[in-house]
Amino acid sequence: AFVGADGRLDGEGLETAVRLWALALDLVALGLAHASQADAEASWKRRPIALCLTDLAGALMALGLPYDSPEGRAAAASLTALCDAALATHRAALAAQAGACPDEPQALASKLSRVEHAKGVARDLALSPCGEAAEQAVRLYGEALRVAAQSGLRWAGGLFFARMPQT
| pLDDT 10s digits, 136-164 | 999 999 999 999 999 988 776 666 554 44
5-26: pLDDT as tens digits: 888 889 999 999 999 998 888 8
Q: pTM here?
A: 0.85
Long-range contacts of 19-27, Cβ-Cβ distance < 8 Å, separation of 24 or more:
19/86, 19/87, 19/89, 19/90, 21/51, 22/49, 22/51, 22/86, 22/87, 22/90, 22/91, 22/157, 23/90, 23/94, 25/49, 25/50, 25/51, 25/157, 26/94, 26/154, 26/155
Task: Write the pLDDT tens digit of every residue in 52-76.
Answer: 888 888 889 989 999 889 999 899 9
79-136 per-position pLDDT tens digit = 999 999 999 999 899 889 988 877 656 678 888 888 999 999 999 998 888 889 999 9
